[in-house]
Amino acid sequence: MGAPPSIVGESAIVIDAVTGRILTGKSEDKPRAVASTQKLMTALLVVEAGPLSDPLTIQQSDTTVEPTKLYLRPGDRFTRGDLLKAILVRSANDASVALARDVAGSVEGFAVRMNQRARSLGMHNSNFRNPHGLTVEGQFSTARDMARLARAAYRHSAIRGPMTIREYNFVHNDGTIRKLVSTNKLLKRLSWVTGMKTGTTRASGKCLIASGSLLGRTVIVVVLGSTPQAVWNDSEKLLRWALETPRPAQTAVTAN
């Protein structure tokens, strides 16, 4: 395997999803905002909390979060699985708040669980304050920590499945249908990409956690602090470098 490609993103890491071996990194331990990529933690906690068939009722407090959102209405009822799918495909912030409240009683309580789970995964350079990733003081992570999270999330079929969906119709309680198109453009670029999560705020820049499987290997790529155009090229170059070129045997250095 040759030298890894140069990228625009300020922080990055590539790991083997099965073994956790780190293949390359760039400022992977620098704390920074990671935006909606932290919804992978929200998804992980939701999946671990109980049946995705469990119903929940939307409350007014769930709807006041900023876009991107589904414009859920107070009193509407959905399953946890319905809303989990929406946050993984379209990054819906109101769905994230509703799930957090349903699982932990409040956004604040959910943040406590996020940080407890992060520590259990060895994410010692992260602090989460909300389930959606909108900018707030004191919220941060690193490329290495997000790779640890992504690897844990990838183990769950209930998360892997929705992440591969390019688009689908979300049906509101009144029958209104809204087409949700995946925020992950790599799903259309590369046939072997298996999903993960996008993120963008002014504080974070463009972020993408991407996974791919090819020739019996699966890798996870984390790119943070990139630009709207470069994030896709950064991630594609790193995925191709990791999966399309022969990989020599190495002493394992794991991400967790």
CATH 3.40.710.10 for domain 11-243 = yes
Q: Give the tens place of pLDDT for each residue, 110-164.
A: 999 999 999 999 999 999 999 999 999 999 999 999 999 999 999 999 999 999 9
Is 255's pLDDT higher than 90?
no
Q: Report d(CA 104, CA 179) in Å as an integer.
A: 29
Question: Which burial class, exposed, middle or buried, applies to 13 when counting CB atoms under 10 A from its CB (0-12, 13-18, 19+)?
Answer: buried
Q: Which of 11, 69, 85, 91 is the catalytic position?
A: 91
| Amino acid sitting at position 172 | H
pLDDT value at 256 more than 60: no
245 band by pLDDT with thresholds 50, 70 and 90: confident
Mean pLDDT of 220-244: 97
**Is 36 among the catalytic positions?**
yes
Q: What is the amino acid identity at position 67? A: P
Query: Which candidate in 11, 26, 36, 85 is catalytic?
Result: 36
Q: Is the preceding peptide bond at 64 cis, omega within 30 degrees of 0?
A: no
**Phi and psi angles of residue 134, each rounded to the nearest 5 degrees, phi first:** -60, 145
Reported confidence tier of residue 248, pLDDT bands at 50, 70, 90? low
Helix (DSSP H) and strand (DSSP E) numbers for the chain: 8, 9
How many angstroms separate the CA atoms of 212 and 186, rounded?
10
Among 39, 85, 197, 206, the one annotated catalytic: 39
CA distance 25 to 56: 40
Average pLDDT, the chain: 95
Ranges of each domain in the chain: 11-243
pLDDT at res. 252: 38
Number of Cβ within a 10 Å radius of residue 242: 23
> d(Cα 126, Cα 123) in Å, to the nearest integer?
6
Cβ atoms of 142 and 30 within 8 Å: the answer is yes
Give tens-digit pLDDT for 23-60.
999 999 999 999 999 999 999 999 999 999 999 999 99
Catalytic residue status for 91: yes
Query: CB of 208 within 8 A of CB of 198?
Result: yes
Give, in order, the Cα–Cα distances in Å from 212 to each of 163, 189, 242, 249, 251: 11, 12, 9, 20, 22
**Which has more pLDDT, 93 or 2?**
93
